[in-house]
Amino acid sequence: MQKAEIVESIEVARLPGGLGIDYSGFSSAVWWFDYERHRLKKYILDPFSAALNTMTGYSDEVRPVGKTDKNINAGDAVFAVTTTPQGKRISYSNVVTAFSDYVLHLEEFYKQDRLREGFRTLRGSGGLDELFIRLDVLESAMDGYLKSNLEGKEGVKQESVLVGPEQWKSENAGSLTVAIGRDYGVLNTANAHDYFVASSIEEDNKGAVSRFKKALKQDAFSRYGGEPKSIVEFKYPFGQTLFINQVEPRAVVKYDGIVEDFIKPPPEKLTSRSAIGDFQILRMMHGGQEPLLAAKDLVDPGFREEYYPREIDGNVYVRAQGVKSRFEKHTKERTSTTFEQNIRSFPVRP
């Protein structure tokens, strides 16, 4: 029978600032990312911070009116715990999805009599009749999506920082021994010290692994001859151990940016660098401020032609096709590519 040992403690090392693309760098990064960080969180960071937070008297159910700071004693140590009430937040991805569905199907909805109010068939920029939609209808639709697409729950966010002893702050322990059976949820001096050291190691190691992954990504690009367009795996063999770095390109959409591109209000003082949403620009043009916008070069080429704004009975109407093309433009500009890396180690196949 294979011998096995019961783990009673683990030694978590503070990683050096620069990990090389070698066996030591790979093994350190994998050990930290796949094992050690989870053990620090489970055995020390979570239990001790939960005990600190409980002593504030605040919780998701009992929230302060505003941001509140309290000093909590843990033996000879003192921690300042900041409690910030949190509310539901806007799910911008859901907002953009809903607005996209609305915008991309305007003409279809109109033909099916599902939408009529605020729509007109008018002569477009090309001399042909087109579907136009009233600006306030678009604004109301976006506002409705912003109000109805909330996520998360009401609660609190709590963060702690060491107040003292002051000499702890100058320590730079190279490692920390985590005792598996110890109750780190007790607010005493020993636990407070280990919690502070664990927090410091976590922050340093997170940065070290992040820099290692950045260097590894550049190494992958160099070996591949550029940025890959699909998933690519790179093998790094070291003796009996094989490390694999899987690089996967992913599209990242800045959904809140797309919303801002339509509704962001103008600043009090306009400059050539001011960012203003399309709907707000249309309102400013309607109010006679187009010369000012033009002087600051705040209307991009094609804006007027795409929207082709028309004023009828005091209301602004814009091309439905123009709204669609502007949505596609903003989505493209707010979409970038990031590269996810999945680093794993395996024994070399026998």
Convert the pLDDT of each residue in 6-38 to its tens digit: 989 999 999 998 899 999 999 999 999 999 999
Residue given tokens 């401020």 in the structure block: 289
Which backbone phi and psi does 343 adopt, to 5 degrees?
Answer: -105, 125
CA gap 324, 131 in Å, rounded? 12
Per-residue tens of pLDDT for the chain, all 350 residues: 788 989 899 999 999 988 999 999 999 999 999 999 999 999 999 999 999 999 999 999 999 999 999 999 999 999 999 999 999 999 999 999 999 999 988 877 777 665 567 888 888 777 778 899 999 999 999 999 999 999 998 999 999 999 999 999 999 999 999 999 999 999 999 999 999 999 999 999 999 999 999 999 999 999 999 999 999 999 999 999 999 999 999 999 999 999 999 999 999 999 999 999 999 999 999 999 999 999 999 998 889 999 999 999 999 999 999 999 999 999 999 999 999 999 999 998 77
Burial profile 176-213: b = 16 or more Cβ within 10 angstroms, e = fewer: bebeeebebeebeeebbbbbbbbbbbbeebeebbeebb
Amino acid at 199: S
Which of 318, 267, 319 is CA-nearest to residue 293?
Answer: 267
Cβ atoms < 10 Å from Cβ of 71: 12
3-state secondary structure of 288: coil
CA gap 54, 57 in Å, rounded? 6
Asked if 64 and 71 count as a contact pair (C-beta separation under 8 A), the reply is no
Asked if 231 and 329 count as a contact pair (C-beta separation under 8 A), the reply is no
CA terminus-to-terminus distance, the chain:
21
Q: What angle do CA 265, 337, 28 make, to 5 degrees?
A: 120
Residue given tokens 């309607």 in the structure block: 286
pLDDT at 349 (0 to 100): 79
Per-domain residue ranges for the chain? 9-87+153-252+336-347, 89-151+255-333
Residue 336 bridge partners (DSSP): 252
pLDDT at 138 (0 to 100): 95
pLDDT at 116 (0 to 100): 66
pLDDT at 115 (0 to 100): 57
Which backbone phi and psi does 148 adopt, to 5 degrees?
Answer: -100, -10
CA gap 282, 137 in Å, rounded? 13
CA gap 227, 220 in Å, rounded? 8
Residue given tokens 């309102």 in the structure block: 283
Which of 246, 233, 235, 243 is CA-nearest to residue 347?
Answer: 243
- The answer, as to whether pTM is greater than 0.75, is yes
E-strand stretches of 91-185? 119-123, 129-134, 150-151, 155-164, 175-179
Q: What is the pLDDT of residues 117-176, one digit of tens each?
A: 788 888 877 777 889 999 999 999 999 999 999 999 899 999 999 999 999 999 999 999
pLDDT at 261 (0 to 100): 97
